[in-house]
Chain A
Amino acid sequence: MIRNVLANVMHRPATRSAPATAVPIVPGYRGGVTFDHKECNFCGACATRCPANAIIVDRPGRHTEFDLFRCVQCGACAEACKRGCVQLATSYVPPVTAKPTIEYTERPVTEEQSER
């Protein structure tokens, strides 16, 4: 018992002094969803696989929406996406003051823009 007490007194602190020290990033950690809209072709595979119904994909309307609070960070969408648009970040979704959603609507390319 005495040995245990002395060992504990001499030991460095067992806790990390957050937020002064940053939380170490663990590679492969399943954090919140990130979305790279450049490659998205609105196939809807991520929405079909999502167990939490956190993804809405509107193919005719060219609109994608991710509800980050409904997301359970399972990674099924990241596995389903064939173009690699959907990935999981390396940290969790922090507390926010407004409901976090990632929304993207593809703007139709006008004639002047396509000529350029």
Chain B
Amino acid sequence: MSQRTVIPFGPQHPVLPEPIQLKLTLEDERVVEAIPHIGYVHRGIEKAAEKMDYTQNVFLVERICGICSFIHALCYCQGIEHLMATEVPDRARYLRVIWSELHRLQSHHLWLGLFADAFGFESLFMEFWRNRELLMDIFEKTAGSRVIISTCCIGGVRRDISAEHLDEILRVLDQVEARLNTTIPVMLKDAGVRARTVGVGYLSQDQAIKMGAAGPVLRGSGVAQDARMLGFAAYGELGIEPVVETAGDSYARCKVRCREAYQSIDLVRRAVRQLPEGDIVVRPKGRPMGQVICRVEQPRGELIYVLAANGSSKLERLRVRTPTFANVPPLVAMLPGCELADVPVITLSIDPCISCTER
């Protein structure tokens, strides 16, 4: 006679970067059901955005999440620029791509470190985070701050990257690539890592599409979809091929992020080489009016912003749909059938960013 117990996973748990609670119903050691409870980091950002000026909102939305902060600001600025019919200068578009891809790179380093830590592989965790420090130093030198870089503004970017800094970015990327070449094979080939991730947390392609999964969760299940294919900022000129794996398990999602890290390095190198001269910002005239939906690709998946403005200095409505919000139902579908010890690995494999989810 198997016994059912209810175990709360979270809200505080060593593997979780942010708090979420999963009430797990277990039969002996197997998970039968998982019910998520969210709301531990809700800060009312959408409401705050209605109270502040639309220019001040850039600083508000980039603080929704510290790991993907520039890309939040990018999506918001693109939405406002669309509502004010502003064309961003070419140099600004390429600079936005450079900072976005560096953000993606540091986010994947962060995640790879956390994923290694989830198995107790602490030395690999430290290696990935030490390599991430190289990227944080680049942000400090080019943007003035390590985490919330505040360089995107409505109409372009606030700072230019000088030629010496561009050379330094390329040099540091060589170092980052060399270190990835030694650490990623450890992550992907280690027998312990493979034993804990291969076949664990399976999400079929059908389920991924039906449940609206986003990002590496979607691409790890074989769906070739990446919001950067829309061609916003300078992605249209640089061209992007989505990184796809077909296995649908945690190992596949890990492999997608590893390959995306290399893809980001390549994108930054091409953007730096093709960086055009010119202005970095154009001052838009008037006030935003109308409604727009804009989508960008965060490290965790597709981010959707809906902005509604009525011509005043404050927005009428800002709606943010973050990728982890879309990935929680697939997570709840992946968990039944696994053992309790697999729950941290599966939860971390969707790359949960709960501050984004709860805004």
The CA of A17 and the CA of B150, in the complex, are separated in Å by: 30
Q: Which of A4, A29, A48, A74 contacts B59 (CB 8 A)?
A: A74
**Segment 15-70 of B: residues with Cβ below 8 Å from A:** 52-53, 55-57, 59-60, 63
B59 touching A28, Cβ below 8 Å? no
Tell which of B138-146, B233-241, B299-307, B349-357 binds the partner.
B138-146
The CA of A48 and the CA of B53, in the complex, are separated in Å by: 9
Chain B residue with minimal CB distance to A29? B144
How many whole Å from A77's CB to the nearest CB in chain B? 11
Is B259 on the interface with A (CB-CB < 8 A)? no
Is B2 on the interface with A (CB-CB < 8 A)? no
Is A18 on the interface with B (CB-CB < 8 A)? no
Is A49 on the interface with B (CB-CB < 8 A)? yes
**Segment 43-72 of A: residues with Cβ below 8 Å from B:** 48-52, 72
Chain A residue with minimal CB distance to B145? A30
> How many A-B residue contacts, CB cutoff 8 Å?
38
A28 touching B141, Cβ below 8 Å? yes
A51 in contact with B56 given A30-B150, A74-B150, A75-B158 (CB within 8 Å) = yes
Tell me which residues across on chain A come within 8 A of B182, comparing CB atoms: 4
Tell me which residues across on chain A come within 8 A of B57, comparing CB atoms: 51
Tell me which residues across on chain A come within 8 A of B140, comparing CB atoms: 26, 29
Q: Which of B59, B142, B144 contacts A51 (CB 8 A)?
A: B59
Is B130 on the interface with A (CB-CB < 8 A)? yes
How many whole Å from A37's CB to the nearest CB in chain B? 24
Instruction: Count how many chain B residues have C-beta atoms less than 8 Å from C-beta atoms of the other chain.
Output: 19
B144 touching A75, Cβ below 8 Å? yes
How many whole Å from B33's CB to the nearest CB in chain A? 42
B56 touching A76, Cβ below 8 Å? yes
The CA of A75 and the CA of B148, in the complex, are separated in Å by: 12
The CA of A112 and the CA of B145, in the complex, are separated in Å by: 49
How many whole Å from A78's CB to the nearest CB in chain B? 11
B115-154 contact mask (Cβ, 8 Å, vs A): 1 or 0: 0000000000000001000000000111011001010000
Tell me which residues across on chain A come within 8 A of B63, comparing CB atoms: 72
Is A14 on the interface with B (CB-CB < 8 A)? yes
A7-21 contact mask (Cβ, 8 Å, vs B): 1 or 0: 000000010000000
A73 in contact with B56 given A4-B182, A14-B130, A30-B150 (CB within 8 Å) = no
The CA of A44 and the CA of B88, in the complex, are separated in Å by: 29
The CA of A34 and the CA of B264, in the complex, are separated in Å by: 37
B144 touching A28, Cβ below 8 Å? yes
How many whole Å from B102's CB to the nearest CB in chain A? 16
**Segment 74-106 of A: residues with Cβ below 8 Å from B:** 74-76, 79, 88
The CA of A68 and the CA of B159, in the complex, are separated in Å by: 23
The CA of A79 and the CA of B150, in the complex, are separated in Å by: 13
How many whole Å from B64's CB to the nearest CB in chain A? 13
A72 touching B59, Cβ below 8 Å? yes
How many whole Å from B259's CB to the nearest CB in chain A? 23
The CA of A65 and the CA of B342, in the complex, are separated in Å by: 53
Chain B residue with minimal CB distance to A72? B59
Query: Which among B141, B142, B145, B182 has the highest number of chain A CB atoms within 10 Å?
Result: B145
Tell me which residues across on chain A come within 8 A of B55, comparing CB atoms: 49
The CA of A68 and the CA of B254, in the complex, are separated in Å by: 42
Task: Please report B residues at the A interface, Cβ cutoff 8 Å.
Answer: 52-53, 55-57, 59-60, 63, 130, 140-142, 144-145, 148, 150, 158-159, 182
Q: Which 9 A-B pairs have the closest CB atoms?
A: A30-B144, A51-B56, A51-B59, A74-B59, A28-B144, A74-B150, A30-B145, A26-B140, A29-B144
Task: List 29 A-B pairs, Cβ < 8 Å.
Answer: A14-B130, A26-B141, A26-B144, A28-B141, A28-B144, A28-B159, A29-B140, A29-B144, A29-B145, A30-B145, A30-B150, A49-B55, A50-B56, A51-B52, A51-B56, A51-B57, A51-B60, A52-B59, A72-B59, A72-B148, A73-B145, A74-B59, A75-B144, A75-B150, A75-B158, A76-B56, A76-B59, A79-B158, A88-B144
Contacts A26-B144, A75-B150 known; list 5 others, CB within 8 Å.
Answer: A26-B140, A28-B159, A48-B53, A76-B56, A76-B59
